[in-house]
Each structure stands twice: as structure tokens, then as C-alpha cells.
Amino acid sequence: MPKKRKRKDIVRGLPPAFSAATPPGPLNVVQCPPPVPRRRKGPAPGTVDRYGKSDRALYSVLKRLMQTRHLSANAAALQLAYDNKVAGIGSEESRARRLAGRYLADTR
């Protein structure tokens, strides 16, 4: 049996002169203008105070709870929220956080 000669796999391409591809050159980078930021819809943040009056009406009750039961502002506000005395939507924890934060900001 005769030995088979191994052929080297050679991939032959077209010479550069006959290539249909464009010759490589410097890249042309297109600069896009920066995107225009969209205007925010609705009122500016911090201008609407939905529960300000009802929260301020609870300051005396909150202060009394803090003094008589020796609670922090957050714990007293949470107690009021669990008793459904804090107005608003959301969980009791979020309403208590709003009330306590407002109380601490107003008293400092």
C-alpha cells in the first residue's frame, strides 16, 4: 500500500489589488451631540407638603410619649402609627419614619 502524502492546507486569498474590501485606513468617528435632558414632570421635589399639618398636630402627643415612656422619637412615632393616628398611605413604618424625621428636623 503506498503511503499517502499529507497535503498542507493552504488557504489562498486574492491579492490586495483584486480584493473587493476597502483598504484599511483611519477610522472616522462620528461625534453625537449629548442627549438633551428631559424636563422633570410635576412639581419640584420638596414643594408639596401633603401631611405637614396632620404631622405637626401630633407633635404634642409624640413629645408626651417620649417623656412619659422614655421612648425615642422613632419609637414614639411608630407607636402612634400602629395606633392608626398618623395620616397617610404606606406601611406603619414608613409613616412613622416620616413623622419622626419631620419632628426631629423641626425641633433641631
The three cell numbers locating residue 7: 497535503
- Which pLDDT does position 10 carry in this prediction? 56
Q: Is residue 90 part of a domain?
A: yes
User: What type of residue is 10?
Assistant: I
- Which pLDDT does position 28 carry in this prediction? 74
Q: Is residue 13 part of a domain?
A: no
Residue that has been written with the C-alpha cell 419614619 in this structure: 97
Render each residue's pLDDT in the chain as its tens digit; 108 residues. 566 655 555 556 655 555 566 667 777 777 888 888 888 899 998 899 999 999 999 999 999 999 999 999 999 999 999 999 999 999 999 999 999 999 999 999
pTM (whole model) above 0.75: no
- Which pLDDT does position 87 carry in this prediction? 96
Q: Is residue 58 part of a domain?
A: yes
Q: Which residues span the domain enclosing 80?
A: 52-107
Residue that has been written with the C-alpha cell 409613616 in this structure: 95
- Which pLDDT does position 46 carry in this prediction? 86
Q: Is residue 15 part of a domain?
A: no
The DSSP secondary-structure symbol of 18 reads G
Integer angstrom CA distances of residue 14 from 17, 80, 101: 8, 84, 76
Q: Is residue 44 part of a domain?
A: no
Q: Is residue 20 part of a domain?
A: no
Angle 53-58-61 from CA coordinates, rounded to 5°: 165
- Which pLDDT does position 40 carry in this prediction? 86
Q: Is residue 78 part of a domain?
A: yes
Instruction: Please give the tally of structural domains in the chain.
Output: 1
Q: Are 102 and 95 in contact (CB under 8 A)?
A: no
